[in-house]
Each structure stands twice: as structure tokens, then as C-alpha cells.
Structure 1
Amino acid sequence: MNILISKFMWQNGTRINQYLFAILITIPLLSFGMVQGWLSPMISVLQSPKGPAPVPFTTNDISWTTSVTYISAIIVGAPMGHLTDRFGRKAMTLITTLSLIIYWQIKLMCLEPWALILARAIAGIPCSACYIVLPIYLKEISDIDLRGALGSLLILNRNIGYLASYVFADILEVTTMLWMGLLVPAVVFFIFIIMPETPEYLVKQGKVDEAKSVLAWLRGVSIIDQSVEHDIDNIVKIEKQTKADPKSVWKIIWNDRPTFKAFIITLVIKITQQFDGYLILLIYAGFVTERAAESISLKLSPNKQVMMIGLVQLIGSIIATCIVERTGRKLLLVTTSFAVGVGMLILSGWFYLTGTGTWLPGWVPVVAMCVCIFADAAGFQPISYIIITDLFTFQLRGTVSAFANICAKLSNFIQTKWFTKVCELISIHWTFLFFSIVSFIACIYTVLSFPETRHKSVEEIYEKLDKKKQKEEKISDLP
């Protein structure tokens, strides 16, 4: 372990090291939030003949600029889990940060359509890695009673990035904002070079002594502390069992009953969260506020609209970080998915009734939209990432995260590419009704099938999932 880190960070039993390390790990997601947030207020600027682009962007250019990130994210996301297990969490985080540096550098050099599309394609690397590598990294450096709160920092930092982008777009010149975007990953890259790998990955590489040193540093205790010895011994035991009975990851997932159930739960929660409509609201918030402005005095510039959305997201993320370890995953997931469903249902009803000529207050869709975005950020979205690290051992996390990420990015591509065409075919109120139904399905499924994972080990969670085994044990106990 790096001598500088061991000397100049907190010890004496405090866990500040975990908090500081977790913040550093999630800053690449803050930078990616700036990447995603930059485009929304800049679309009209890029299309303007007087804008910073040498050639005004066409509608087709904007379409590809918006969606190409998700195409490349699907391509690079497929091997991302394997690469994370092969080369380590730290190495892949450094590559993620480097790709962000390249993204901002390309835009500083050229803002022609081809250059921005290329930059957005490169952004597919952090688009996948931030949601595959970083959650695994966070989980493996967090104590069991902190992993929910620290895991929520992912969405919190991303939403800080969104809001920062919206604000910078409103007050800074384009070039100045691009330099600000470049500064964040550049600083993180050089700091991260001296940061440690996770204890679990080090054990997997046979570096047990170094793993003990890192775990002791994270907890602020001596390397001979009993808790350090106990947890490292458990990791070593699991690693030996895995090597003694080598199976492919997919064979384990398919053949082991509780693991397969955990996999299905992960996919259902992830896919329903992606199709709850939050992404569409982020992109088309201006359309909702424009319709609302027809019946109330709501005159906001496009930048002010996205800033309002960014602030609502950020508040939701802050609340999630504060309460996720108190409420538990299940209760938070149930309440927030239900709230999103109600908000989408109200939006659907408002657009349907106003479309028939019925007058309704304009504040209704604005409030409903804010409720959806707030609830998604306060629970539905962060929990969908936290549960992957809760439900799987370190041998499976990379592969499951990669597969779930591919499903998520595919759904994002479908929505961004074809939402407007679908609305033209079946009307916008039906699309919002679809999002509402998906959210209610997620709520009901969580109540019926999702086990509480707060402060529980993977083994404890799998015992709950293996109902057949529990029934057999009960039968064997009968006289």
C-alpha cells in the first residue's frame, strides 16, 4: 500500500478514510454527469448559426449526438465486468477517468458535428464503467453498515454534475465551461494513482498481506485488529472454495437457485427503473413546462428549466444518501417506485384531458414531473445500483453489473431514439401511462419478491431467497 496514503490519512478507529475514498471514487460520475448535463442546455446553441460550432448542427446531428453514447456504452459494457475482474477496480477506474479527459479535450479542440459525435461515442466508456466498476469499487471498500449510504453517493455525485453543467451553461462561456469539465477528471486521475485496490480483489490476486493493510487503513485500525483478520479470513475462504470448484459465472447463476433468483430480481428492478420515464422527463422537461405555461404564468428559459430539474434531482439524491441506511432498501424502493407511478399517472391524465379541450391548472404537470424526478433520485435509481453489490459475491458482481448495464443502456437508446416517433403514433399520454404501469409493477414486485438487504451478508440474503431449502428444513424438523 502507498506510504503517502498510510501516513497522511486518518487512523485511531475512525472510518473517515472510507468516506473520503468513496467520494473520490464517485467523482468520475460527477464528471460524467457534467458530460450528460452539458448537452441539454446546449442543443439550441449548437443549432444556431451564431453558436460556437463552426457548422450549425442539424436535427440528425443532434439525434446521433444524443444517442451514440448509449450505442458505444453497450459495446464496451459487454466485456467491462470481465475486464474489471481481470485488471482490477483501480485500473478500470483510471481508464474511465482518462476517457473523460479525452472527451473534454476533443470538444476543446473542435466543436464540429463529427468531433462532438466522436467525443460522445468515447463517453460510452464512462457511461458503462461508472455504473459497473464504481459500484463494485464502492462496495468492496465499505463496511456493511455504510455500503448503502456510500453507494448512494454515485447518483448524488452524478446529479451534482448535472446541476453544475446546467449552472455553468447559464453563466460561463462555452470554452470556459469545457475547461472546467476537463479540470475535474484531470485532478482525480493524478490523485487516484496513489489510491489502493480493494481488499477483495487483492485477495483474489494472492496479495493477502496487502489486503490486510488496505482494510486496516480503511477502518482506521491496526493491521492485527481482530476484525481485519476475521474479514480477510472469510474472503480467503470464499476464494479457496471458488478455486476448488471452478465454474463459469453464468453456470453458477443458472444452476444455483438463490443466485438465479437474485439475478432475476436485479434485472426486474433495473429494467423497470430504466423504463419509469425519468430519462424522458429529463430530456423533454421543456415540453412539459411549455404546455404548463399556457395556463399559468410560468415563463422559464430553457436553461432555467433544466436548472430546476437538476436541483430537484440533487435534493432527492441527498435525501437518499441520508436515509437509505435507516429505512432499508425495500421500503425506500417501494415508496419511491409508487411515487413515480402516481406522478406519471397524473401526467398521463393531464395530457389526455387537456388534449380533449378540458382546462386544468398548469401547475399540475410541473408538480407531477418534479415528484417523478425527485422520487427516482431519492430511491428508485440509487437502489437499482446498490442491490447489485448487495446480492452478489465479488466473483459475480462484475459480470452481473455488466449485463444489467447493457440492458439499461439498450433501454436508454430505445427511449432517446424512438420516443418522439412513438408519441406521434399513440399520443404522449399513452407513453406516460406506460411509464406509470411499469413503476407500479416495480412497486408490487418489490413487495412480493425483494428481500431486505440492509446490513446483511450475501449468505444471509441467499438463505431468505432459498425458500425450498427452508421448507425442507422445516419438514425435517417435524417429529
Structure 2
Amino acid sequence: MSFREDNEDGREIRKPFLHTGSWYRMGSRQSSVMGSTTQVIRDSISVVFCVLVVALGPIQFGFTCGYSSPTQEDIINDLKLSVSEFSLFGSLSNVGAMVGAISSGQISEYIGRKGSLMIAAIPNIIGWLAISFAKDSSFLYMGRLLEGFGVGIISYVVPVYIAEISPQNMRGNLGSVNQLSVTIGIMIAYFLGLFVNWRVLAVLGILPCTVLIPGLFFIPESPRWLAKMGMTEEFETSLQVLRGFDTDISVEVNEIKRSVASSGRRATIRFSDLKRKRYWFPLMVGIGLLVLQQLSGINGIMFYSSNIFANAGISSNKIATLGLGVIQVIATGVTTWLVDKSGRRLLLIVSSSVMTVSLILVTAAFFLEVVVSEDSHLYSILGILSIVGLVAMVIGFSLGLGPIPWIIMSEILPVNIKGLAGSTATMANWLVCWLITMTANLLLAWSSGGTFAIYTVVAAFTIAFAAIYVPETKGRTLEEIQSSFR
């Protein structure tokens, strides 16, 4: 769509309305680039604001993950817990998250993405308060389960909401903000854990959700969810707000309407329907990536990083853990910039390759430490090598396997099965996360080298999985991606 206008010299200038990802074409090339850049920035402000608001949810997610590392010693001493009891405490958030994840799809389908996040925030707040006032393990466990329930909903709804509101040329960048926020939450927990005791740290954990709740009143609902629910007027209003009031949204509106019409607005999908290839293949890719993400052992490493550093001979283990959190944030920030340039699939392959090499180094270092005298110079060198490998593994994870599975999951699942399939994939992620978190301390006590050898095999398998099965979704609309599986 365009309109004509003559300039002072009588030359015709064509000025099309801006569609998502399109450019003004006015006179000279320079004015075209400058004008389009200004327009894209202005029209993306609403989307970026929405992403920043919902990113408070993943910050809460990360804070929950990072809480157990700096507090382990103090909680065990104050409440007289055993290592096994604390391991149970650390892993119970994953049990709660499984319940939250399996219900997240249905909740978000019936009351919307915003309403789901509102529900998720409340048990998080109650859970942190229960932990902060705990006098014995029962309150700790209850609080951790409530936190996990909220986090399970957040982990599904936030990437889906971001994918559904983002223009196709920014979807990867904005989708990566989800995992970037998780790493920021982990880093904040590590940093504050240096200065405050575990009860005060639990009270501070309330803050992200207390800001998220009022923030949700200032952002629009997902236009794709509104379209699926048949709320045509609200759908177009939401999309217009997100794309900017000067933007012609007719093409995108028609594309979304066609996609919703072909899927069936309120068609009931059962588990038996997932046997059809158009459903089972994207679901297999989504579940496969989210399961492999956790089988890499990253949460076991991040939950108990202070102990790992102590075992490697690092005296200031809490500071080293904070440094690891900072590195993770920086590496994930790089991915946020790269993902719409290099593509999802390539980053996954590079990420898994870096993890495999670094885990081989960590495995070798821990196995050799067993046979080397602790007083020898070689023993200290092996300790340094294990730390270098651990840091490289976290960097590799942050470059792809951390953020991209959530982006892929939110992009490839067809709209009519997204609730059922997405919550199933998210629950699988949390189930494996629980197994890894529950067993990490026990496995490390059994054999540090053996533990990292298992993680190495998983990272190597992930390279093959990404190369063979994962489709490239860069630069394609959600409707194009999902229709390609039909």
C-alpha cells in the first residue's frame, strides 16, 4: 500500500506505509535508511517496553535458581540440615515448577498470557516469605514448592508472550531477553548473597514479582491469543499498539487471521492428535532441546557452584561464583545480539561444540586430581584447568543452549496445540532439571570426573541433534514457521 506525493521539483516520491520489517523509500538512499531506522526504533518502543515488563518474571526465575548456592552453608548450619535435606530443598523448586509447567498451557489459553503471569507472581511472593520466616525444614520446603509453581508458569508464558508480540526481524533478539533475565536474576542472587544472610536474601526475592504485578496493567495482551479467542477488535487494537499507530498492520492482521482460521479457534486437541507429523515433529524438537538443555548439567553446576569451586581449591568460592554469574550474563547478552544475525541453528551447534570441548577439559582435570598428590604443583594447575573449563562451559551454554531452546519452543509449536504441547515440553524441562539438581551433589560426592563425563556425552549428542533435526527459524513469521510442518 502506498500513496503518491510530488516534491517541489515535480518529482514523484512513493511513500509506502510501514509494514513490519519494511522500509520507507523516499528520494535518496541516505534518507531512506535514516527514515526507516527512526521509524523502526519508534515503532519498536512499545514491544521493548512490554518485554522489559515481563522480563521481571525470568529475573524471579533466575533468583530462585541462584538462591541455593550462596546460602547453602548458612542454611545448613542455622537449621541443622544434612546435605541430603538441603539437596531436597534445592530441588523442590523444580517439583513445584513441574506442576506449574503442566498447568501453564491451559491457564494461559483460558485467561491469557497476562493473567497467567499475574497468577504466577502470587505464589512466588508467598513462597519467599515462608522461606524468610522458616524455623525448620517444613517451611523451607513449602516455600520452595510455591516458588517453583510460579516459576513453572513463568518459564512457559514469558517466551511465548515475547514471541507472539515481536516483529519477525526482532523476535530472536527479544526472545533471548528471557534467558538474559534469568542469568541476571542468578547474578543478583549471587551478589546479594555476599552481603546479606539467607533470610534477608529471601525477602529481597519478593521484589521482582511485586513490580511485575502492577507492570502488567500497562502492557497489551498477546494479539495472537486474542485472535485465537475470537476477540477481533481487541486483537487489532493490541497489534496496533505494539506496532505503532502510524504503521499499517493490515498484512500482519490478515496473516494471523488466516493462521487462526486454518487451525480452528477452539478445536480440542488430545494427546492422541499429537501423533500426526505436523504436531509430533515440532513437539519432538521442542522437548528434545529443552531436555538436552538440562541434561547438560548446567543447573547442577549453577546451584552448587560454590561447592564446586571449593573442591577445586578456590578459597573465595562465593566471589568466584559471582564472577561466573557475571560471565554468564555477558555471554547471554552477546547471544541476544547475535541470534537474529547468525541464526538459531548455527548458534546451537557452536554452543554445544564449545561445551563439549570444555567439559572434556573439566573431566580430565578432575580424574587426574585423584591420582596426583595435593601438595604437588601439578595439582594446583589441574584445579585452575578445571575452573577454566567450567567457565568455558558456562560461556558455551550461554551462547546457544541456554536461550535458544525457549525461543525455538515458542516459535515452532502450532497455535492450536501450543497450550498442550508447550506445557508438556516445559514440564519435561523441569522434570529433568529436578533430576539433575537432586543428583548433582550426590554425583559430585561420588566422582567429580565421572559426573562431568556424563555431561560431556550429553553435550556431544546435542551437536548431532541440532544439526539433524532443528529447523532454522530466523527471519520467518510464526505463521510461516508453523505452516511449514503441515
TM-score by length of 1: 0.86
Q: 1:244 to 1:269 in 2, by over 3 A?
A: closer
| CA deviation vs aligned residue, 1:367-404 (integer Å, no higher than 9, x gap) | 10001111112211101100011212322222222111
Q: Which moved more, 1:246-255 or 1:278-287?
A: 246-255
Aligned position for 1:75: 99
CA distance in 2, matches of 1:11, 1:149: 14
Q: Find the partner of 1:364 among 379, 385, 388.
A: 385
Aligned position for 2:55: 26
Q: 2:455 matched to 1:435? A: yes
- Cα distance, 1:418 vs structure 2: 2.6
Aligned position for 1:352: 367
Q: 2:351 matched to 1:336? A: yes
Aligned position for 2:138: 114
Q: 1:435 to 1:401 in 2, by over 3 A?
A: same
Aligned position for 1:277: 297
Q: 1:278 to 1:237 in 2, by over 3 A?
A: same
CA distance in 2, matches of 1:175, 1:275: 31
Aligned position for 1:3: none
Counterpart secondary structure, 1:14? helix
CA distance in 2, matches of 1:321, 1:247: 36
Aligned position for 1:235: 256
Q: 1:421 to 1:303 in 2, by over 3 A?
A: closer
| CA deviation vs aligned residue, 1:396-420 (integer Å, no higher than 9, x gap) | 2222221112111111221222334
CA distance in 1, matches of 2:165, 2:54: 10
Aligned position for 1:477: none
- Cα distance, 1:174 vs structure 2: 4.7
Uncovered stretches (5+) of structure 2, i.e. residues with no partner: 1-38
- Cα distance, 1:356 vs structure 2: 2.5
- Cα distance, 1:431 vs structure 2: 2.3
Aligned position for 1:475: none
- Cα distance, 1:252 vs structure 2: 4.3
Q: % of aligned pairs identical?
A: 20
| CA deviation vs aligned residue, 1:186-211 (integer Å, no higher than 9, x gap) | 12211213422111111122221111
Q: 2:399 matched to 1:399? A: no
Aligned 8 A contact 1:30 1:158 in 2 = yes
- Cα distance, 1:462 vs structure 2: 5.9
Aligned 8 A contact 2:66 2:303 in 1 = no
Matches for 1:121-140 after TM superposition, within 5 Å: 121-140=145-164
Aligned position for 1:327: 342
Aligned position for 1:299: 315
- Cα distance, 1:13 vs structure 2: 4.8
* Amino acid of the structure 2 residue aligned with 1:216: Q
CA distance in 1, matches of 2:428, 2:215: 32
Counterpart secondary structure, 2:416? helix
CA distance in 2, matches of 1:185, 1:234: 35
Q: 2:134 matched to 1:104? A: no
* Amino acid of the structure 2 residue aligned with 1:393: P
- Cα distance, 1:423 vs structure 2: 5.1
CA distance in 1, matches of 2:151, 2:64: 10
Q: 1:108 to 1:291 in 2, by over 3 A?
A: closer
| CA deviation vs aligned residue, 1:244-276 (integer Å, no higher than 9, x gap) | 894525344311x24322222222222111111
Uncovered stretches (5+) of structure 1, i.e. residues with no partner: 1-9, 467-479
Aligned 8 A contact 1:11 1:220 in 2 = no
Aligned 8 A contact 2:347 2:400 in 1 = yes
Q: 1:189 to 1:247 in 2, by over 3 A?
A: closer
- Cα distance, 1:12 vs structure 2: 9.2
- Cα distance, 1:341 vs structure 2: 1.0
Aligned 8 A contact 1:133 1:398 in 2 = no
Aligned 8 A contact 2:94 2:430 in 1 = yes
Counterpart secondary structure, 1:299? coil
Aligned position for 2:240: 216
Aligned position for 1:309: 324
Aligned position for 2:309: 289
Q: 2:421 matched to 1:413? A: no
Q: Find the partner of 1:151 among 172, 175, 179.
A: 175
- Cα distance, 1:337 vs structure 2: 0.7
CA distance in 1, matches of 2:477, 2:364: 43
CA distance in 1, matches of 2:239, 2:411: 19
Aligned 8 A contact 2:117 2:157 in 1 = yes
Counterpart secondary structure, 2:402? helix
* Amino acid of the structure 2 residue aligned with 1:98: I
Aligned position for 1:267: 287
- Cα distance, 1:460 vs structure 2: 4.2
* Amino acid of the structure 2 residue aligned with 1:75: V
Counterpart secondary structure, 1:393? coil
Counterpart secondary structure, 1:304? helix
Q: Which moved more, 1:151-160 or 1:99-108?
A: 99-108
- Cα distance, 1:40 vs structure 2: 1.3
* Amino acid of the structure 1 residue aligned with 2:114: K
CA distance in 2, matches of 1:456, 1:11: 18
Q: 1:33 to 1:320 in 2, by over 3 A?
A: same
Aligned position for 2:43: 14
Aligned position for 1:376: 397
Aligned position for 1:451: 471
CA distance in 2, matches of 1:269, 1:317: 17
CA distance in 2, matches of 1:43, 1:244: 48
CA distance in 2, matches of 1:457, 1:259: 18
Q: 2:201 matched to 1:183? A: no
CA distance in 2, matches of 1:274, 1:260: 21
**RMSD of the alignment, in Å?**
2.4
